[in-house]
Amino acid sequence: MKKLFLIATLGMLCCLHSANAAAPVAPAPNGLTLPEGYKDWPVISSTHRLDNQTLRVIVGNKTAVEAARTGKTNPWPEGTVFAKMAWKETVHPAWEKALVPGEFIQVEIMVKDSGKYKETGGWGFARWKGLTLKPYGADASFAQECFACHQPVKDKDYVFTRPHQLP
């Protein structure tokens, strides 16, 4: 029940967040841009990171959603794009047993293009910080930092995301 509440809350926040953005967003140092309409993509998964106390919602483009629904995720198909939105966790003011999204931290994307991103396992990585969506990284080499973090899931096509099961 607690997980269902958390997922529903995060989903509603995604919708609210999508109503706020209007200003153009600069590309990441490696040239990746935030995909048009990513905030309206279907939810594939959600995570709660204990190490940095964040709640995350992972959405995907049509290719990612189809792969998730059919279980064809290892490897994920070419053209898969994920967007992961993260909020600092906070305790619900009226329900102390519930964690809810607080301050918006960042949005990250992963783009599957094995030809273009050979040096990073076939994935392009990018991140934008805060509500101003400031591109992360001094130059294109920041993607190596992302790729290094994804090494523990090399045998899962470098993807931590586990799609939610739906009835």
Count of C-beta atoms within a 10 Å radius of residue 69: 13
For the whole model, what pTM was predicted?
0.85
> Is residue 166 domain-resident?
no
> Is residue 16 domain-resident?
yes
Alpha-carbon gap, residue 28 to 142, rounded angstroms: 10
Write out pLDDT tens, residues 143-157. 999 999 999 999 999
Number of H helices, E strands in the chain: 3, 6
> Is residue 120 domain-resident?
yes
Q: Is the pLDDT at 115 greater than 60, yes or no?
A: yes
**81 pLDDT band (50/70/90 cuts)?**
very high
Q: Is the pLDDT at 5 greater than 80, yes or no?
A: no
Domain span at 62: 2-156
- Residue 20: HSE in the Cβ half-sphere, 13 Å Cα cutoff: 9
> Is residue 165 domain-resident?
no
> Is residue 163 domain-resident?
no
CATH of the domain at 129: 3.50.70.20
Domain count, the chain: 1
Q: Which of 20-29, 66-75, 105-114 has the lowest mean pLDDT?
A: 20-29
> Is residue 161 domain-resident?
no
